[in-house]
Structure 1
C-alpha cells in the first residue's frame, strides 16, 4: 500500500464494534468469568500470508472492554506479512482480553481477507491501465469497513450505495423509452451526481458516448465486442474521455484477457462477497521467542 488510507469515521467503527460485542457477550461472558480478573498479556499471530487490515476495529473491540489495554502493533495497517508473523502484543486484564478476542479477530480476519484478495487482483493487472473496483456485494452492516479494506488492498471503491451515484440499467431505459431519454432524465434530476450507464450493444455504447456520462458498463460484451467498444471509445471523436468498465464473470483465469482488451475498470463482487478470512489467533501469554 503506497499511501495511508483513511478509515471510516470513529463513530462508524464504534457502532460496528458495539454491535459485534453485543451479539457475542449478550448478558455477560460466562466463560471469561472463570478467569482471575488480573493483569495479563497476549499476542496476535497470523497463520498465513496476508495483507493486514482492520486494526482500528481490533483496537476498538479491546478498548471497549478495557480502556487501559496496551496494544503494541508490529505491523502497519496495509502491511504484507508471512505465515507465523506476530502482529501485535497486548497488555491488559485477562477477562477483557478473552472477552474481546473473537469480535476483534472477526473484524481483523475479514478485513484482512478482503484486502489480501484485492491486492492479488491489483498485482495481477499491474502494468496495465485497468483499475480494480469493488461492488455493493458486501457483508450486511460492514460496507464501509469492507470498502475501506478494498482501498487498503490497492483497489478503488465503486459507488458506496444507492445514494451517491446514478446507475442506469435496462429497467431505466425501458421506463424512459430510450437510452438517450434515460440519460437526459438522470442528468436533469441529479445534475451533481456521477452517472454510470450500462449498455447492451455497440449501438447503445455510441449513444451513451454521444450523450456523455462518467463511466460506461459493458457487462455482457464478449471479447470481440469489448475490443470494438474500446476502439470506439478511445478513438475520435471520443478519445477515451469516458472510461469503460467490465463486471461479471471476472476471476484470475479471465482477468488478464479482459485487461488486454484495453478496458479501464474491472469491478469484482468477489472482493467483498467471497471472503477468505485470514487465519489469526490471539493467545494469552508472551509471544514465542524469536
Structure 2
C-alpha cells in the first residue's frame, strides 16, 4: 500500500487487482448458480436415486452436465481474455515439478495421518468421510473414480483458469500464485472436509462481502476529502478480513486439524506454482488427483468401519 503526498493511504495503484477480485468473485458466483440450476433441473426431471449405483449414475450425469457447461464457458472466457489454457504436456525439463505436484499432497496427507495417530484424531474426522468395514471394493472404486472424473477437472478449471489466469492478467506470475492460493484457499476449502468442487454459499457470501468492502475502501480513498474519513473507509475491509481469519482459526481445533488445513493450502499453492512454471494443466490436475486419492486410501486402508464426527 503506497502513501499519497498528504499521508493518506492509497490503493489507487491496486485498482486493477480490486477489479479483478470483483471479476473472480462474479465468476465464482456464476459457477455456484450453474451448479444449483443443474441440480434442480436434473432432480426435477429424474428424481433422487435410491441406491448406491443410482447415486453414482446420478452423480456422473449431474457432474458431467455441470462440468461440460463450465468447460464451455471457460473456453469462451479464455478466448475473450486471451488466456492460454495450458492444454499441453509439460516439457521434459520441468518433469521434476510434476513429480513435486504429485508428492506434495501424499507427503502432507501421510504427515497429517501420523500426527492424528499420535494425538488421537482419526483422519476420517477431518475428511468427514467414512467407509463401512464390510464394504465391497466396487462401490469404493466408483465413488473414488467419480471424484477424479468430475472433481479434478472442476478444481483445475476453477482454480487455475477462472482464478489464477484471471489474476495473471493484472499482476505478476508470482503475485498471481499467492492471490490464487489465498482466494482458492478460502472459497474452495469445504467446511465438511477437503476441497470442494464448487464454492459453498457461505464462502461466497464472505467473498462478496470482502469484495464490496474493498470497493468501499477505494471510494473512500478517492472521493472523501476529510483527513480521517478515508481511513474510516478501510474499516469494513479490515473487519471482514478479521472475521474470515478468526473463523478459519476457530475451525482448527487440533494439531492434526491444523495440518489438514495446511495440506489443502499447500496443494492449492503447489498446483498454482506448477501450473505457472510448467504452462500445463496436467501438473495441477495431478496434484488434486493425488490429494483426493490419498484421502480416500487413508480412510479405506486404516479407518474402515470408523465414523468419528
Which TM-score band (shorter chain)? under 0.3
- Greater share of helix: 2
Does 1 or 2 have the higher relative contact order (CA < 8 Å, sep 6+)?
2
Report the TM-score, using the length of structure 2 for normalisation. 0.24
Report the TM-score, using the length of structure 1 for normalisation. 0.25
